[in-house]
């Protein structure tokens, strides 16, 4: 039974827990955007975009970087750069590429996706990857690429588990892509160096509009030859842009000022999870809290919270609550008080 159908608007939003994509640029980020030096990026003339691409490539230990308007386009262009029509991509059933990107790899790229079951910690099992590999037989799609992800549903997958999955793919000659939709949250939770996670993938897609709060954009990093093909794919997909240094400047500001404070989001998520435990079932994962309210609290929970200034996403029976840079201690207090008033 569907209990929630959509998100719930409040007359005055005091705390928005729908996603970490709802953040607003602060005054300092806006100032960085206003001061950005720009040019036509289709000609390679935007110096701020070039600086962002080079910065993230170096930071991740890769040869090159390429700015995309969205993570979905970054992932798709990466697949198109490394696979041909009729080739197969092995990935996870819960991963964005299979579950959340409108089937674009198949619809637009002509690629076959083999979605494997995802383990409790979000990883793919090496044995499942090996079993999914297709023989060199014209009856089967040719296995070309393994697409991994971290975090998955907020879960930060341990490096050892990521390495084991990647090794299973590499041993079979597959290229390895890492969808880092919340890459920096994963690094923060794991306490590892960024390059320790980035080296898992030959290519890595780094979303800038989720955990770190830039208005838009994703940078794909990897080998220079793959990125050159991805640039052509970006144009094919309509992703060539002009004076976008304003977006790159916002991302550069976020990398410097938001990434170092991501642990605060994780700590506030833990506070919220603890406050919700008396009200239902709770699961904590980095900056996310997954809450299944007790049956007597479930009816009209969205509108009741909205009336108190707290905005949540639809969910049935589990509701995802996401902490981010726009939820400070005061906003968290509003949310906790609103939830506790449901009893």
The residue ranking higher by pLDDT, 11 or 270, is 270
* pLDDT score of 240: 95
The mean per-residue pLDDT over the stretch 52-58 comes to: 98
| Alpha carbon separation from 261 to 63, 185, 212, 282 (Å, rounded) | 27, 10, 9, 24
Is the pLDDT at 190 greater than 50, yes or no?
A: yes
Helix, strand, or coil here: 205?
A: strand
List phi, psi (to 5°) of 248: -65, -35
Contact 96, 104 (CB under 8 A): no
Task: For the domain made up of 15-24+261-340, give the CATH fold.
Answer: 3.90.1150
Task: Please report, rounded to a whole number, the percentage of residues in the chain having pLDDT higher than 70.
Answer: 97
The mean per-residue pLDDT over the stretch 205-233 comes to: 97
Query: pLDDT digit string (tens) for 143-159?
Result: 999 999 999 999 999 99
Task: Please choose, from the candidates 135, 95, 102, 101, the residue with its C-alpha nearest in 3D space to the C-alpha of residue 116.
Answer: 95
Is the pLDDT at 242 greater than 70, yes or no?
A: yes
Cβ atoms < 10 Å from Cβ of 296: 10
Contact 93, 118 (CB under 8 A): yes
Contact 87, 111 (CB under 8 A): yes
Task: Please choose, from the candidates 152, 155, 131, 160, the residue with its C-alpha nearest in 3D space to the C-alpha of residue 143.
Answer: 131
Is the pLDDT at 68 greater than 80, yes or no?
A: yes
Query: Which residues have CB under 8 Å from 144's CB, separation 6+?
Result: 82, 83, 84, 87, 88, 89, 174, 175
Tell me the domain boundaries of the chain. 15-24+261-340, 39-243
The mean per-residue pLDDT over the stretch 20-35 comes to: 98
Lowest mean pLDDT among 18-22, 154-158, 312-316: 312-316
Task: Evaluate whether the domain defined by 39-243 bears CATH number 3.40.640.10.
Answer: yes
* pLDDT score of 6: 59
Q: Which pTM was predicted?
A: 0.95
Is the pLDDT at 316 greater than 90, yes or no?
A: no
Tokens 């108190």: give the residue: 308
pLDDT confidence bin for 1, thresholds 50/70/90: very low
Is the pLDDT at 279 greater than 60, yes or no?
A: yes
């Amino acid at each position: 039974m569907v209990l929630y159908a959509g998100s719930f608007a409040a007359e005055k939003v005091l705390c928005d827990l729908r996603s970490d994509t709802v953040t607003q640029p602060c005054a300092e980020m806006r100032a960085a955007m206003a001061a950005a030096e720009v040019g036509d990026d289709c000609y390679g003339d935007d110096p701020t975009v070039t600086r962002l691409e080079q910065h993230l490539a170096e930071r991740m230990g890769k040869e090159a970087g390429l700015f995309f308007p969205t993570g979905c386009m970054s992932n798709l262009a990466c697949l198109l750069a490394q696979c041909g029509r009729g080739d197969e991509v092995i990935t996870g059933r819960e991963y964005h590429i299979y579950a959340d990107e409108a089937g674009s790899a198949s619809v637009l790229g002509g690629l076959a996706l083999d979605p494997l079951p995802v383990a409790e910690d979000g990883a793919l099992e090496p044995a499942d990857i090996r079993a999914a590999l297709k023989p060199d037989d014209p009856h089967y799609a040719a296995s070309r690429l393994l697409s991994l992800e971290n975090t998955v549903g907020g879960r930060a997958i341990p490096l050892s588990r990521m390495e084991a999955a990647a090794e299973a793919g590499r041993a079979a000659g597959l290229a390895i892509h890492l969808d880092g939709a919340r890459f920096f949250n994963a690094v923060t939770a794991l306490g590892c160096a960024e390059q320790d996670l980035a080296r898992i993938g030959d290519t890595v897609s780094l979303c800038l509009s989720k955990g770190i709060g830039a208005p838009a954009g994703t940078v794909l990093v990897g080998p220079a030859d793959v990125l050159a093909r991805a640039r052509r794919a970006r144009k094919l997909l309509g992703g060539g842009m002009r004076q976008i240094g304003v977006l790159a400047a916002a991302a550069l500001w976020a990398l410097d000022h938001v990434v170092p404070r991501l642990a605060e989001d994780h700590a506030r998520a833990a506070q919220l999870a603890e406050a919700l435990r008396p009200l239902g079932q709770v699961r904590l994962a980095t900056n996310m809290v997954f809450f299944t309210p007790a049956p007597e609290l479930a009816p009209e929970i969205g509108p009741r919270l909205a009336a108190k200034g707290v905005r949540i996403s639809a969910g049935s029976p589990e509701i995802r609550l996401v902490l981010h840079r726009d939820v400070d201690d005061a906003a968290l207090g509003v949310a906790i008080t609103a939830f506790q008033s449901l009893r």
